[in-house]
Structure formats: structure tokens, C-alpha cells
Structure 1
Amino acid sequence: MEKLTLSPLSHTWILDFDGTIVKHNGYKIDGIDSLLPGAAEFLASIPTSDMIVFLTSRTEEYRYITEEFLQANSIRYDHIIFGAPYGERILINDDKPSGLKMGIAVNKTRDEVMNLAFEEDRGL
């Protein structure tokens, strides 16, 4: 299991949707989305003071079924960005003067278990 060590500050989680949280293209292949193993538990472990932003290449025509699925599965989120390009997602952020690294990127294998945990380090 990959483990992130985070500061006690509030965080912004930017998560791809298909292949990370739900089965990739499951809404097209199966006619319905399905959560990947560990995804609901991982998302529920994110503190409520943190922001959750989903990115997806899905077009706006799938907004309703996507949001309905999230609500039916009690998945908390703050924003969903639809129509994201298929290419790489690039995060650029500035570090704190204290040296705290403010940009973190995690890549996972498509449709695999959400095998990520995090802990807080009050010393950061």
C-alpha cells in the first residue's frame, strides 16, 4: 500500500474519475457505473475540511447520471470538471517557504484497487 505523509493543513484532492474511482467506461460498457474496490472507503477517509475535485473526460451529457451515481453512493465531492482532455494531467504548484512540498502526484493502475492511505505529520 502506498502511504502519503501530509501536513495538518486542509488539502485539495484532484482525482480522475474513470479507472480511478469507478470502472473505466463502465457507464458505457455495463450501462452503469461501479465503484472500484477500496474507492468508497478511501474517499470517506478524506477529512471533510478537505476539498475533493473530480476530473473526467466524460462530456456534459453524462453529468446527470454521474452526479446521480455519486449521490446514490454517498460520495462527497465539491466539484466535477467534465470534458477534460484525454492526455496527461499536469499539476504545478509552489512550495511553502518552510520547504513543505505543495504538489503531490500519484499514478495508479487503471481499474485496480484504490491502495492508497495517508497520515498526518504535525511537524510539517
Structure 2
Amino acid sequence: MDKKTDQHLIETKENGKLISPILPEHVKNYLIDIDGTICDDIPNEEPERMATAALYPDALEILNKWYDEGHIITFFTSRTEEHRPVTEEWLNKNGFKYHGILFGKPRGGNYHWIDNHLVKATRFEGKFTDLEEREVKIQVFKK
């Protein structure tokens, strides 16, 4: 992690060993898709198009704003590890500020994240903007 991130995370040790940092309450940890979310939707079968994918400018503006506010930006993509060089080059060329990239997300859209911490999910519907609060129906475990 970079120095900016280190300023916002609380270093934690257990038995003298460094463990996962703790996010302060005001810091959000964003996991963001790439293809079809911040740029053209390019399938892994057409990697030659990845280097010239059209950028969604509103995504760049909002994500860099969140980064500058101290939030954690991690891309979570269905691209495979072999696409790392072209992906990092494209992100850097287009000016994205980010902390990491996770490759190999299963393709398809039926994701369900189960965690013992509050998890918020936002479906991208064509334009990045600031987020707003809404009441929605969610699935929860039966009591």
C-alpha cells in the first residue's frame, strides 16, 4: 500500500506479527469491476482490444476523487493474470489512482458476498456519480 493509504489505516499486530489493517469508520473499501464499468466491455477472448478500450470519463473522475478522499480503490476483474500488464498500463495511461487489482473474478452476474461485516453493493447502470442513500430490498439469513 502507498503512503497515503498507510495514513488512513490502523496498523495492527497480534503476537508481535503484523495482521490485516483496520479501516477507520470513515474510509470505504471499494471493489470495482473494469470491463463494462470503467471502460468498454471487452471479453477476455479479445485481449488485443484491452489496450485501446474507451474510457468512461465519469468513472475516472469519481474514482480518483474517492482515492483522494482516502478511500481504498481495488479493481476486481474477470480479466486473467496474463492480462495484468495491459491492464496496469491502461489504468496508468488513463490516470487512474488505485491500490490494487484482483484478477480472475468468475464471469457471470450472480454474485453474493457473505461477510460478518456490513457489505454494500452498487450495481453500475451506465454512469458514475456520487453515491446516494436509498432504501432497497435485500436478502438476509433466516432467523
Answer whether TM exceeds 0.5 for this pair: yes
* Counterpart among 33, 41, 55 of residue 35 in structure 1: 55
Match of 1:22 in 2: 39
Name the count of aligned residue pairs: 104
Structure with bigger helix share is 2
Consecutive unaligned residues in structure 1, runs of 5 or more: 1-6, 96-101, 120-124
Match of 1:60 in 2: 81
Aligned Cα root-mean-square deviation (Å): 2.6
Residues in 1 aligned to 2:83 and 2:77: alpha-carbon distance in whole angstroms: 10
Percent of aligned positions with the same letter in both sequences? Answer: 32
- Cα 1:84–1:50 change in 2 (3 A) is same
Q: Which has the higher contact order (CA 8 A, sep 6+)?
A: 1
Divergent runs of 4+, >4 A: none
Report the 3-state secondary structure (helix = DSSP H, G, I; strand = E; otherwise coil) of the residue aligned with 1:86.
coil
Match of 1:122 in 2: none
Q: Is the 8 A contact 1:52 1:79 kept in 2?
A: yes
TM normalised by structure 1 equals 0.70
Match of 1:118 in 2: 131
For residues 84-118 of structure 1, the C-alpha deviation after alignment (integer angstroms, 9 at most, x for no partner) is 111333233335xxxxxx21111123xx222x313
Consecutive unaligned residues in structure 2, runs of 5 or more: 1-23, 133-143
Match of 2:100 in 1: 79
